Amino acid sequence: MTILVTGGAGFIGSAFVDYYLNAHPGRRVVCVDKLTYAGRMSNLENALKNADFRFIKTDICSREDIYRVFEEEKPDIAVNYAAESHVDRSIASPEEFVRTNVTGTAVLLDACVKYGIKRFHQISTDEVYGALPLDHPDVLFTEETPLDPSSPYSASKAAADMLVMAYRRTYGLPVTVSRCSNNYGPRQLSEKLIPLVIEKARRNELVPVYGNGLNVRDWIYVTDHCRAVGMILENGREGDIYNIGGQCELRNIDIVLKILELLEKPKSLVTYVQDRKGHDLRYGMDITKINKELGWKPETEFQNGLKQTVEWYTHKV
């Protein structure tokens, strides 16, 4: 069996490549990545030592290149991690997000239809659902929650999800979709909250916090996310959507303070800055479906995962 992983040199994609190679010895993993600022060959250091792994540098928006990959590698499964994902960047430059997240997904779907594939899996985000109220912690996103994206990033991911399901209805393409909450762990770029705070605090620089810092996110350690996707590929129902969450809702300011405590840095490093445009108040995921159907639940307790993450950034060269 051969699995194609797009965006596999990125933070989450590379973690999935490592997970899949370890979980399924003997299966081939072909990684496609454009190697933009978010994709790094160093993330694939372990995978490149594995004889069952191949890396191909290309853009998922290049129909000619993607078709060539499908012709040469004949993948049985395709998992699409490739995406522009930073909300701030999408606000400043939406066009690239539409190109990669929508057009790129369409090219991959066309290739899957043309060459025949057993499963196409789309990696999505909880942000496609919009925002939840802060004063009703019992209200969570379910797979039936209507899509209500707030940013160009989340709108492009919602459009991609809809394309995936439309290709199932129109062409009979076997698909699944997973929508995950905020990931954290080693190898994440410093534009995201946790690594940004770690790196600034280590340098004794001011740590920026949007607005009042009370926005709430659901956090999941990256390897728990990868394990969930693996279980969906093996036993998930074709045509279904699965929410993946860490069952760990925390305010942004609390995350910042936990990191400062681990690094033994003063709270005075915190500086509040102008809030992001369209900043969603809260995300929270109901994971009942994936838990009942596949037996998945997050295993990494947040404090342990955060400590491991801080240690990785502290000791990286």
Per DSSP (E only), the strands in the chain are 2-6, 28-33, 53-57, 77-80, 119-125, 175-180, 182-184, 207-210, 216-221, 241-244, 249-251, 270-273
Q: Which two tokens stand for residue 130?
A: 């919009």
Residue 160 burial by Cβ neighbours in a 10 Å radius (0-12, 13-18, 19+):
buried
Helix (H, G, I), strand (E, B) or coil at 48: helix
- Spatial contact of 34 and 63, defined as CB atoms under 8 Å apart: no
Helix (H, G, I), strand (E, B) or coil at 21: helix
* Residues marked as catalytic: 126-127, 153
Residue 172 burial by Cβ neighbours in a 10 Å radius (0-12, 13-18, 19+):
exposed
CA–CA separation, 130 and 149 (whole Å): 5
CA–CA separation, 129 and 248 (whole Å): 18
- Give the Å distances, CA to CA, from 217 to 1, 155, 247, 253, 255: 37, 18, 10, 11, 10
